[in-house]
Amino acid sequence: MNTPRLQASRFKSLRPEGNILALDAIVSEWLFVSGFWARINQALGTMFDQFEEDEVAPDILGDVASELDAQVRSLELSASARINFICRRFASGETLTVELQRTALLSELIKLRDFLIASCAADERVEFSL
């Protein structure tokens, strides 16, 4: 079985001199597997999907940042040092399981939350490449 390559998410300010944040590929996968983007889509009526790009307005950025903040607070309360999850299921029945340190996950989520808060405060649009 070929192990699929995980794809990092990228968040790019649409200002000409805007910043770009690349989110670790495993963290990007975790956001989908954990249901984070599904919850965002349901709550906000958005259609953020894996391997897709979307241009996001400041008001939505603030809502996504708030949800990320809630996720961060929840993870901070967790006693587990490591997070394990299945990120792929194959037709053969095999699965691809990955593991990451909770502290590394928290660090990435906090960077993303802060990036979105700053972009929202600057009234910027951001391209999500998930």
Distance CA 29, CA 6 (A): 7
Q: Look at the block and give the residue holding tokens 């939350």.
A: 113
pLDDT at 103: 95
Q: Which one has a higher pLDDT value, 79 or 124?
A: 124
So where are the chain's domains? 26-129
pLDDT tens sequence across 78-114: 888 999 888 888 888 888 888 999 999 999 999 999 9
pLDDT at 87: 82
Distance CA 47, CA 49 (A): 6
Residue type, 55: E
Q: Look at the block and give the residue holding tokens 């910043």.
A: 19
Main-chain phi, psi angles of 62, to 5 degrees: -65, -40
Determine the distance from the C-alpha atom of residue 67 to the mean position of all C-alpha atoms in its chain, rounded to a whole number. 11
